Chains A and B, each alone.
Chain A
């Protein structure tokens, strides 16, 4: 199974879902789904890198923290990201994000993401062993 992402419906906002062979891959794909809420990920050139660390008591809080950390970097650096490398040990996540400064003309960013929520939040494994990480983001 190829790692991939999806959006799913929430009345006012949008759900982001990452699917992969490992927890790390699912988190990376969920991050791509987050970028896709704002712009087409393929338009974002991985020119610059940013490192992130987050810790949380369980996988679900960790996913919310991970997405919120990316949202924070997008907001304060005015950047968009298209490449994510995630490592998780116990409940500590370290990641390297790659992207570039947001360009209104080229990226046509549709909407700011305000925060990741706990609505429909789940991190778990399917019967085939693949990992799914999902939650709704507020836009």
Chain B
């Protein structure tokens, strides 16, 4: 029993044409239908796996791709698409790709304001940590408090966070601050297999494991005071962020459609450069069924984060009976969505895939909630247990540069195995406690695998995203308490 470590390789930048400080082009060549564009600083791009080059190039060969295949500053080696990949497809000629969305459909981040200041929370952090850990099921095999029968399952898959609010989880005000207003339309629960539904049966309102977390954070810096004010953020404020996705249901849908699409590609006349690029024409049965199932999984993720929000509010009310926790915003970073985009002055309806990329719609966009319409949507970027997270704002330029998309997080720099060789879970917890960060997790090994040092520097990713014009940096958040699945 052993372990083989692949020697870290880095990107050969001589293959790239640097258009500006943070923008690198790969000219369309071979089977590429459009160019590929990577947004990153020189340091980030030199550190990227050469697989990103290969994958962003492969995506550019897919039928019906429009304008360019994009990679965000946090891009790394994914499945078919790079993680941090964005690609838009024409509704008639184009494809939808299960690999282009990924296994954890609609994985995302939501942030709640608390109205509390760091000095209110400092003395009771331990109590708050215990209460959150007690209320929110986390870790492998944890089950929720809710069991859905077949009718309720379909209602949840059709109506997402709207369904959760109807069930008493949170309030109608929350829905305004969720992408798609909490409900992805045209979801088709009938396209979701019984296996996928069974895998979800006991998992509603659970955080999951791996890089998923629930954090109490303090705002430690404000970079744009006007936008921060519109978001209700001030230095010293306490917020709560939740990172999780569509749980077992999304994973099962991803698994099933990846196989169906890979096997059907030949029949659809698609020559896949990589089986992981599994895709199907939008206008095919499997394509339509995937879209219906994937939208149901988006609703599952939105409902899940809504239920967890309710549990977080319950936990806070035990410690701070008067605290209200309004929702700042909820973003999903693994999706395919139908959106209107302008290219060369003309408006097009496109199927935009974001695989490890966050929507970043700018000021004035009709899908941005009224409260944020003048400043752009909040773009929520998660860090690691010991490092900062960031809140950015969508920009008008991002609509032009990346179909309104930005980065999504830090990305690993070290494998899980290497992390467990380097750190022990108990030591990571003690070290972070020494820096004022309380960690609660059911698994020491899980904590070691997620050690802050195993991730890239999220600050560099955020800076590059800002410089490339994909989003504007608004605030930095640092953890006080982290519940790790």
* Interface, chain A (partner B; CB < 8 A): 4-14, 36-39, 57, 61, 64-65, 68, 71-72, 75-76, 78, 102, 104, 108-112, 114-119, 121, 136, 138-139
Contacts and interface: CB of A to CB of B under 8 A. Distances in A.
Given A6-B1, A10-B6, A110-B446, 7 more contacts: A8-B3, A9-B418, A11-B412, A102-B140, A108-B444, A112-B210, A115-B251
Nearest to B77: A11
B141 A110 contact: no
Nearest to B83: A12
Contacts of A38: 140
A62 B3 CA distance: 24
Interface residues of B, number: 56
Interface string B74-88: 001111000100000
B76 A12 contact: yes
Given A6-B1, A108-B445, A111-B209, A102 B195 contact: no
Nearest to A67: B255
Nearest to B6: A9
Residue from the set A11, A12, A68, A117 with the largest chain B CB neighbour count within 10 Å: A11
Interface stretch (B62-70, B257-265, B292-300): B257-265
A112 B103 CA distance: 12
B31 interface: no
A68 to B, nearest CB: 5
A14 B139 contact: no
Contacts of A121: 275
Contact of A112 (B76, B102, B209): B209
Given A11-B415, A110-B449, A57 B210 contact: no
A112 B445 CA distance: 12
A102 B445 CA distance: 15
Nearest to A136: B79
A110 B416 CA distance: 10
B378 interface: no
Contacts of B210: 111-112, 139
Q: Which 8 A-B pairs have the closest CB atoms?
A: A109-B140, A110-B445, A114-B251, A118-B275, A115-B255, A9-B6, A102-B141, A114-B103
A52 B51 CA distance: 35
A104 B255 contact: no
Contacts of B442: 104, 108-109
A61 to B, nearest CB: 7
A57 to B, nearest CB: 7
B1 A4 contact: yes
B147 interface: no
B123 interface: no
A4 B79 CA distance: 26
A104 B275 contact: no
Contact of B417 (A7, A61, A64, A76): A7
B76 A6 contact: no
B446 to A, nearest CB: 4
A40 to B, nearest CB: 9
B181 to A, nearest CB: 28
B180 interface: no
Interface in B259-298: 259, 262-263, 274-276, 278
Given A7-B417, A9-B6, A104-B140, A115 B254 contact: yes
A99 B259 CA distance: 27
Contacts of B83: 12
Contact of A75 (B76, B199, B262, B443): B199
Interface in B21-80: 49, 51, 76-79
Contact of A8 (B6, B76, B104, B255): B6
A22 B43 CA distance: 46
A109 B276 contact: no
B248 interface: yes
A104 B139 contact: yes
A109 B327 CA distance: 32
Nearest to B442: A104
B49 A11 contact: yes
Contacts of B102: 138
Nearest to B202: A78
A86 B178 CA distance: 47
A9 B5 contact: yes
Given A111-B449, A117-B276, A118-B262, A11 B76 contact: yes
